Amino acid sequence: MPAKGERGCRAWTPLSRSGFLGDWQGFARIAEGTSRLVLQIRVSPTGEILAFLSLPDRAAMAIPFDTVSLDGRRIRAEMASQKRPVTGELQEDDTVLVGHADSPQGDMSVRLLRNHPDFLAYEFPRLAPSGRPQTAYSYQAPPRLDDGLEVATAAEVGLREISDNTT
């Protein structure tokens, strides 16, 4: 275990064969709805196991865990600020990581994949019906509802509107 205040832990698992290393992607239900979740597990040059949590939809990127430990096919990670461990277990030939965390909103379980197919929409440009990348985006104001949220056209908030899908 690391000394108090040190991040990570010394690797006692043969990390060259560890199924945990890499990027894991999935979706988590949190208080405000569903959010993409990315867990990155790395080994430092000194052999420490490091883990970082990102919630891209919440602009929370690469938040480090303070302690990380591996035990066979199980992982345990903690952030000192949260005081609740996150645990996970490798499944299906090391292609799925099923995780669990207690949160103030209740129990949270996630299923993480190495290359989650639903993440592809966020990493690559949209394709036009012709199959070519579609790089232009045209904003349309959502319908006005009686829900207290304000909506506006791009011009109403001082943005230039482009009507022909060119930049």
Report how far residue 161's alpha carbon sits from residue 118's, in angstroms, rounded to the nearest whole number: 30
Report how far residue 137's alpha carbon sits from residue 154's, in angstroms, rounded to the nearest whole number: 12
Note the CATH architecture for domain 9-120: Beta Barrel (2.40)
Report how far residue 115's alpha carbon sits from residue 92's, in angstroms, rounded to the nearest whole number: 14
pLDDT in tens, the chain (167 residues): 344 444 444 434 444 446 888 889 988 877 667 888 889 898 888 888 889 988 887 778 888 999 999 888 999 999 888 778 899 999 978 889 999 887 666 678 888 988 777 776 666 555 666 666 666 656 667 788 887 778 887 788 887 766 554 44
What ranges do the domains of the chain cover?
A: 9-120
User: Is the pTM higher than 0.85?
Assistant: no
